[in-house]
Amino acid sequence: MGGFKELTPVQKAVELLRAHVVHRPGKRRVSIEEALGKYLAEDVVSPFNIPPVERAVVDGYAVRSSDTFGASPTSPAILRVKGFLRAGEEPRFSVLPGEAVEVATGAQLPPGADAVVMYERTRRVGELLEVMEAVPPYGNVGRVGEDVREGEVVLRRGTRLMPWDIAVLASMGLSAVEVYELRAAVLNVGSELVELGQLDPSEAARRGLVINSNRYSISALLSLYGFSPRYLGIVPDDEREIAKAISRALQEHDAVITVGGASVGRADLTVKAVRELGAELVIHGVLLRPGRANSAAVVNGKPVFMLAGFPVAAIVGFEALAKPVLLSMVGGEEEPKAVVKGILTRRVTTPINVRSYVRVRVYEEGGRLYVEPLALTGSGVLSTLVRGNGILLVPEDREGYDEGDEVEVILLRQPSKSP
Amino acid sequence: MGGFKELTPVQKAVELLRAHVVHRPGKRRVSIEEALGKYLAEDVVSPFNIPPVERAVVDGYAVRSSDTFGASPTSPAILRVKGFLRAGEEPRFSVLPGEAVEVATGAQLPPGADAVVMYERTRRVGELLEVMEAVPPYGNVGRVGEDVREGEVVLRRGTRLMPWDIAVLASMGLSAVEVYELRAAVLNVGSELVELGQLDPSEAARRGLVINSNRYSISALLSLYGFSPRYLGIVPDDEREIAKAISRALQEHDAVITVGGASVGRADLTVKAVRELGAELVIHGVLLRPGRANSAAVVNGKPVFMLAGFPVAAIVGFEALAKPVLLSMVGGEEEPKAVVKGILTRRVTTPINVRSYVRVRVYEEGGRLYVEPLALTGSGVLSTLVRGNGILLVPEDREGYDEGDEVEVILLRQPSKSP
């Protein structure tokens, strides 16, 4: 791996890429149901006051508050009940002085009334109502625009839409919204690659071939984060072919992700190919482990991520390098990560100035959490991906951690219940 | 809200429901691409050793390790290079004593060779290779089954499939897997409800009607967690109608979720309806805030969740009551939550013995995190759903927290950068 001249720190690479990526993805108007997990491409403004009418927020009686002033258990206000209003009924009564209307929670306040007295503060005898306590104006009333005022920005551009946001959109009467559709092409580079299903894996291996598993992890990561992946196939180890494929992919997509063909041993074909296309910026290798071969470029204002072919290096490269840039293209931000502290069971040594992602298995024992490093080297080890349930991120300014250190781990799944 | 006789603690409700829900959802064979975010319905066993052949894990020369024993810079082993093997090539050489084959990372080890010497430890002069250092047997070699052994369980039933899992399935040659398809019916109860698009929201409100926004939040939550929602429409406030709708829904679905009609003020129609259907277990109200009206039952071994109609109460009821039960039906577990600590800006008072979910806004100021409680009462306030970025969960044994307390908050989005 001695062939890289200048590896870029991860954060600097992300900043450079963000500064050079001027292209913005297309917008698409989708139904709010399809919008789940997508990024808003517009500020959403409430077209109405919410609630648009005054409503009872408890079960009880709608009254004119001034009728209750001075009321007490020994000297109740006496009102006449005119009827009952449920939620969902148009108010067919108005409340005149000395009158009340029984209301269910959610019922619209009848004209004339300006407050609601709870059942518990009243005594009912036939048509007559005794109110034991004064209620102030707007007491127990949900007021117009109390929740959201007309014209108020409710959801900002770049918000990733979650279930409660969708419900808010529906409440405002919006059945569709503009979201970003970031179309990302996935290209796999490598003459050794075959598609799943073409060959039995052991037969493939005997013939020196490798099943293209990276297309699945990278496409799934893109989907998981709300982007639109499109798989474009396998390109052989040929600089011309790679350049052609990337160039074609750039025409129809907002971003291109190639996997494989980026390591020095593989002759750096992808990086050469992208240079040929007249890239405005080329980041050739990053201070990342695993994944120092991960590279990126900007061509026509669009990002091209060139991820290493080793499965774990490709995933780490996607998370560390591609995801932050793609998020900034849609105005989005990283979701909060679940982090726990645990005791490291074995020393972890990492190179200084390199951001290292160490796969770990977090387990519980005797009421404490322990962190077992799974694989310190070897980025092609698929099984650690499924055995592990966390990531120990070692920042650039550290050379690892000692056995027994308390470390913070990003949890991908719940800790195991046993060592 | 005085009408509930016995409210059940949330954890007890979940345990009772889990014990009574004997129905298991159907399984479906799906392509691995469709399997993202679904729960495995089978243990997945590796059909092969991975890797199935020995491979070079560095760039260098494949050798017979015994040829290098005793080698040193001053007394190198001299070998004859027979050719070059890339990853993806079938080995067309064998390595006899005194011979070496140049190999790229990932290349299959040629017959006869049992180790790889890195470039850095060699000097090449034409066909001749000087090896400066001994390499042990299997040095720099990825061994057969090193990653996964044939017959080993790689992914367990109930695992929620993430991108890296999908890649592991592909590597094992599996293009499809069995996943659970938990079909959940969503029914909204309430004569005041209208569908989005039927009426302008302010017109609806003037007529005392409410846009059915809960169908969207609940369906989206189900999708988000990998279940299959099916919306069945609005049922009026009529016990017979509700019973009929639930009964019909139970026939074709693994779980039924009703929203609305569950509060005391609304005459408990849904709970009455489900009792009429001969429920094996009825939980009528839980010690949860907001959402004490949330109820649940088990009918024919299937869960029926009866969520309160207030938007936030419905979401809290789904998260606290429905989600854990649905997860156990597919053998799944809660995903780890992002939790941060921050300083509470205002006292929060909650009732003892009740699990309270307080919506909060977490913000950064002067390098510290602060937690601002958004709405202490009123579960119908949609805007706090979008203004908030976290949940302060107050457990049953506390009556809240004081201003200035350090509290743990579940983060739904990144903290705001300003107060």
Question: Do A232 and A121 share a structural domain?
Answer: no
Lowest mean pLDDT among A44-48, A100-104, B151-155, B374-378: B374-378
The CATH code of the domain that includes B367 is 2.40.340.10
Question: Do A207 and A287 share a structural domain?
Answer: yes
Tokens at A301, concatenated? 């204002």
The SS3 of residue A81 is: strand
Radius of gyration of chain A (CA): 31
Rounded Cα distance, B116 and B122, in Å:
11
Rama region for B104: left / alpha / beta (φ>0; ψ in -120 to 50; rest): beta
Tokens at B289, concatenated? 């805030």
Range of the domain at A165: 29-49+158-180
State the average pLDDT for chain A. Answer: 92
Q: State how far residue A4 is from chain B, nearest Cα, in angstroms.
A: 15
Q: Give the H/E segment covering residue B385.
A: helix B383-387
* Residue B396 phi, psi (nearest 5): -60, -35
* Residue B341 phi, psi (nearest 5): -105, 140
pLDDT recorded at residue B87: 77
Query: B163 to chain A: which residues are within 8 Å by CB?
Result: 216-218, 220-221, 224, 315
List the one residue out of A155, A179, A157, A156 whose CA is nearest residue A167. A155
Domain assignment present for B68: yes
Rounded Cα distance, B57 and B116, in Å:
8
Question: Do B279 and B311 share a structural domain?
Answer: yes
Q: Which residue has the higher pLDDT, B265 or B399?
A: B399
Nearest to A171 among B88, B200, B213 (CB): B213
Question: Do B284 and B197 share a structural domain?
Answer: yes
The size of the A-B interface in CB pairs under 8 A is: 286
Burial A137-166 (b: 16+ CB within 10 A, else e): eebbbbebebbbeeeeebbebbbbbbbbbb
Nearest to B90 among A106, A208, A380 (CB): A208
pLDDT single digits (tens) B329-370: 999 999 999 999 999 999 999 999 999 999 999 999 999 999
pLDDT recorded at residue B1: 37
Please indicate whether, in this complex, the C-beta atoms of B216 and A166 are within 8 angstroms of each other: yes
Domain assignment present for B419: no
Q: State how far residue B280 is from chain A, nearest Cα, in angstroms.
A: 31
pLDDT single digits (tens) A47-74: 888 778 888 988 999 999 999 999 999 9
What are the E-state strand segments in B195-284?
210-211, 228-235, 255-259, 281-283
Question: Do A379 and A287 share a structural domain?
Answer: no
Question: Do B121 and B103 share a structural domain?
Answer: yes
DSSP B160: B
The CATH code of the domain that includes A130 is 2.170.190.11
Q: Which amino acid is at A407?
A: V
pLDDT recorded at residue A381: 64
pLDDT single digits (tens) B179-200: 999 999 999 999 889 999 998 8
Here the ipTM equals: 0.88
pLDDT single digits (tens) B197-251: 998 877 887 777 888 999 999 999 999 999 999 999 999 989 999 999 999 999 9
Query: A266 to chain B: which residues are within 8 Å by CB?
Result: 87, 104-105
- Give B381's Cβ-side CA count (13 Å radius): 21
pLDDT recorded at residue A383: 75
Query: A221 to chain B: which residues are within 8 Å by CB?
Result: 163
Provide the domain count of chain A: 4
Q: State how far residue B382 is from chain A, nearest Cα, in angstroms.
A: 6
Nearest to A201 among B52, B120, B315 (CB): B52
Question: Do A323 and A395 share a structural domain?
Answer: no
Lowest mean pLDDT among A193-207, A217-231, A269-283, A295-309: A193-207
Q: Are B314 and A170 in contact (CB under 8 A)?
A: no
pLDDT recorded at residue B379: 43
The SS3 of residue A298 is: strand
Question: Do A68 and A188 share a structural domain?
Answer: no
Tally Cβ neighbours within 10 Å of residue A199: 16
Query: B211 to chain A: which residues are within 8 Å by CB?
Result: 170-171, 173
What are the C-alpha distances in Å from B24 to residues B16, B118, B220, B342?
Answer: 16, 54, 22, 41
Domain assignment present for B5: no
Instruction: State the best of B148, B188, B196 to mutate against chain A, taking most chain A CBs within 10 Å.
Output: B196
pLDDT recorded at residue B5: 65
Q: Give the H/E segment covering residue B118.
A: strand B115-118
> Does position B78 have pLDDT exceeding 70, yes or no?
yes
> Does position A3 have pLDDT exceeding 60, yes or no?
no
Nearest to B211 among A57, A155, A171 (CB): A171
Question: Do B295 and B191 share a structural domain?
Answer: yes
Q: What is the DSSP string of B387-419?
A: H--EEEEE-TT--EE-TT-EEEEEESSPPBS--
The secondary structure of A366-381, three-state, reads: CCEEEEEECCCCCCCC
Please indicate whether, in this complex, the C-beta atoms of A36 and B212 are within 8 angstroms of each other: no
Query: A362 to chain B: which residues are within 8 Å by CB?
Result: none
pTM of the model: 0.89
The CATH code of the domain that includes B172 is 3.90.105.10
Question: Do B311 and B197 share a structural domain?
Answer: yes
Query: A335 to chain B: which residues are within 8 Å by CB?
Result: 338, 413-414
Share of chain B above pLDDT 90, in %: 76
pLDDT recorded at residue B26: 96
Tokens at A336, concatenated? 């909060």
Q: What share of chain B is helix, strand, coil (3-state, %, to 5)?
A: 20, 35, 45
Please indicate whether, in this complex, the C-beta atoms of A336 and B335 are within 8 angstroms of each other: no
The CATH code of the domain that includes A278 is 3.40.980.10
Domain assignment present for B2: no
Last-in-domain residue among B127, B142, B157: B142
Question: Do A130 and A239 share a structural domain?
Answer: no
